[in-house]
Structure 1
Amino acid sequence: MKINSRIAATAVLVAVSTQQASAVEGGLGAYLPGSRTSFAGIVPGPGSYVGLDLVTSSGSVTGLSLGGLPIRADTDLKLSFAKFSYTYVFDAALWGGTPAININIPFVIDANLTFTGITPPLVGVPIDDTTSGVGDITITPMVGWHSGMLHYSAGFSIFAPTGSYSTASIDIPNRTINALNTGKNIWSFQPVFAVTHMNPDTGLEFSGAASLLFSTRNKATDYQNAPALNLEGAVMQHLPSGWAFGAVGYVYQQLDDDSGSGAAATKAALGASSLQARVFGAGPMITYSGATIFGQQASFQFKYLTEFGAKRRFESDTLWLNFAITF
């Protein structure tokens, strides 16, 4: 069994993904944990790789801040988005490895937030807020190396505030709010190191990635998200038929408490001593790399991720389908 560009392309094309409802200020981060799984450490051969992700997620949290508005109630969020990915791998060498660049353009198909107000002037009032549109674009330059069965890469993701954003507003006569955004109004930066060990004889793969997410202050709300550590991994069994089966998992942990007057106001409103967030996630994954579409090599990837142990962020169940094609 050999590693081919169809399989490796999937890893690159889903290596960076965004969740476009809000930031940790809002229960979700700029980076979607579980994005770097199978073949996370591999940069494929020179060429162009195009991908499409379709993601649907449903989660809940008790207490959060959206667009500067603290919400104490139990809050549910249903989210679906599509993401276009393009990766170009250069036919060149850099620091002894292969350089590449990836761009992700997300589009929020539908984000729906619901809760029942427990504070004036919305006590007992069911609230439903929705949004859609282009989200925050991500650009990631990276370099990959290979040494026998070991493959590893280093990258630096830049999350640009290209999505729409406005602070939350309350329509008291109609008892509604406008709080959801497709962007986060901040820049985020994420250095990442990933590694893959793939045995071509047995088809057994072990992959892992470690990254740190740093964000600028949201000037509209004076809210500063603390740095966050993401640890992700996958164990996959690849078959000669092109199918692969396995499991993936991740840990998200903020390394400090959020700060700024917006964070202080949120703490006071929620009666919280800290806004430091964490969550764990795990689930099955299936891939297929034997397809041909329009004469081009193509691959598919499906995974289901369920979260647990969440603190100060949404705890969600996510269905994720990826399609990648090589040019």
Structure 2
Amino acid sequence: MKSKKLTPRTGFVCRLGAAAIATLLALPNDAARADEGGVSFWIPGFFGSLAAAPAQAPGWSVTSIYYHTSVSAGGDVARAREITIGRIPANLNVNVNANVKANVDLGLLVGTYTFATPVLGAQAQASLLGVYGSNSTSLAGSLVGTVTGPGGGVLPFSRFDSIDSSITAFGDLLPMFQLKWNAGVHNYMTYITGDIPVGAYQSDRLANLGLGHWAIDAGGGYTYFNPKTGHEFSGVLGFTYNFVNPSTQYQSGVDMHFDWGASQFLTKQWQVGLVGYAYQQLGCDSGSGDRVGCFRSRVLGAGPQVGYIFPVGDMQGYLNLKAYGEFANENRPAGWNVWLTFNLSPPAATPPTRSRHIITK
């Protein structure tokens, strides 16, 4: 059996965007990201290199992702978590000297279908992402302030406490639709995704694996990829609209996120480079359950990546490892995270061979 020809695009482009959706994955509610209690719908770093490049063959592909993050935060984020789970009553006026830590391990499975018929001149892809994993979160510290009694009297208040919470369960479901255009070395894409809140979530539990509310996210991206030189750069910009959490009556503000990747293909199989992201909450949090104020969050991240393309029978495999260190965070935990992605997809079609015609007089 002849082996199929491998190209730098074929394994990587195979729906890495849908495979690493942020958010798209409703990251475990208290694990680490923005907005309500410091948690956001979008997982920064979801998109990476070649995010906008079309797949080279229609049909089904499957992507599996192992994701690990370890983060911590103090101050306002810890206070927000205490308020969210109901540990700070409304009649308390306290300063929080506390720290929240989380370790999360997730397994993501993404099924993607690439349509053979173009839509608006673009390659169309539909995906569904499911998640299963564990979340271990702890909160410890002291509360010092005053408490207002029934008669209006004000008394001093202090408490030291700690809680540990862990869960292993299924998370939310995330559908996604993408359109991708190719024009030589230039590639463009647009996407829309959202959160279906069916995962394990309780508003009074510190660790969760669901977001607790609906969300919608949309954006677009660009990839420069030159197969002759192996140079590649990608960037994807998106925005998240969060609906009200019915359990807490808390609505997170609009979020903006930008994921980027730059890489060099050393051979047709090996790829090395850098990845990064910028996350900024644009709109203030609101709703009758918002007791922390605007609480806009921000975080930046950057790190290395390596990728390898290889044949798997009649299919093509792609393995990618990338890691991020976070910094410049505000109203949001920060730490580090690792993504290990394996994609299995149809290989590029072999171009037809032209037969030679001998013309005789």
Match of 2:51 among 20, 23, 40: 40
Q: Which residue of 2 aligns with 1:116?
A: 140
- Determine helix, strand or coil for the equivalent of 1:69: coil
What is the distance in 2 between the residues matched to 1:141 and 1:325?
19
What is the distance in 2 between the residues matched to 1:84 and 1:122?
46
What is the distance in 2 between the residues matched to 1:137 and 1:20?
12
Q: Which residue of 1 aligns with 2:344?
A: 325
Tell me if structure 2 keeps the 8 A contact 1:68–1:262: no
Shift of 1:184: 1.3
In the TM superposition, what whole-angstrom CA distance separates every residue of 1:188-214 from its partner, at most 9, and x where no partner exists?
111110110101111000100000011
Match of 2:164 among 98, 110, 128: 128
Tell me if structure 2 keeps the 8 A contact 1:68–1:221: no
What is the distance in 1 between the residues matched to 2:178 and 2:42?
17
Tell me if structure 1 keeps the 8 A contact 2:9–2:50: no
What is the distance in 2 between the residues matched to 1:3 and 1:300?
12
Q: Which residue of 1 aligns with 2:355?
A: none
State TM-score, norm by structure 2: 0.81
Q: Give 5+ residue unaligned stretches, structure 1.
A: 169-177, 268-273
RMSD: 2.0
- Determine helix, strand or coil for the equivalent of 2:42: coil
Aligned ranges for residues 104-253 of structure 1 at < 5 Å? 104-108=129-133, 110-119=134-143, 123-168=159-204, 178-253=205-280
The one-letter amino acid paired with 1:12 is: G
- Determine helix, strand or coil for the equivalent of 1:6: helix
Aligned ranges for residues 89-108 of structure 1 at < 5 Å? 89-108=114-133
The one-letter amino acid paired with 1:319 is: V
Shift of 1:322: 0.5
- Determine helix, strand or coil for the equivalent of 2:200: coil
CA distance 1:130–1:122, shift in 2 (3 Å): farther
Match of 2:308 among 252, 268, 288: 288
Shift of 1:262: 2.0
The answer to whether residue 53 in structure 2 is matched with residue 59 in structure 1 is no
Q: Which residue of 2 aligns with 1:21?
A: 29
Shift of 1:21: 2.8
- Determine helix, strand or coil for the equivalent of 2:16: helix
What is the distance in 1 between the residues matched to 2:35 and 2:233?
30
What is the distance in 2 between the residues matched to 1:26 and 1:294?
46
Tell me if structure 2 keeps the 8 A contact 1:10–1:301: no
Match of 2:86 among 50, 69, 78: 69
In the TM superposition, what whole-angstrom CA distance separates every residue of 1:257-287 from its partner, at most 9, and x where no partner exists?
1111222x234xxxxxx40101101110111
Q: Which residue of 2 aligns with 1:297?
A: 316
- Determine helix, strand or coil for the equivalent of 2:342: strand
Tell me if structure 2 keeps the 8 A contact 1:27–1:61: no
Shift of 1:9: 1.0
Q: Which residue of 1 aligns with 2:17?
A: 12
Tell me if structure 2 keeps the 8 A contact 1:10–1:300: no
Tell me if structure 2 keeps the 8 A contact 1:15–1:40: no
The answer to whether residue 84 in structure 2 is matched with residue 79 in structure 1 is no
Tell me if structure 1 keeps the 8 A contact 2:35–2:295: no
State TM-score, norm by structure 1: 0.89
Q: Which residue of 1 aligns with 2:356?
A: none
Q: Which residue of 2 aligns with 1:266?
A: 292
In the TM superposition, what whole-angstrom CA distance separates every residue of 1:89-119 from its partner, at most 9, and x where no partner exists?
00101101111101110112x2111122413
- Determine helix, strand or coil for the equivalent of 2:13: helix
What is the distance in 2 between the residues matched to 1:227 and 1:70?
27
- Count of matched residue pairs: 309
- Determine helix, strand or coil for the equivalent of 1:259: coil
Question: Which of the two has higher C-alpha Rg?
Answer: 2
The one-letter amino acid paired with 1:318 is: N
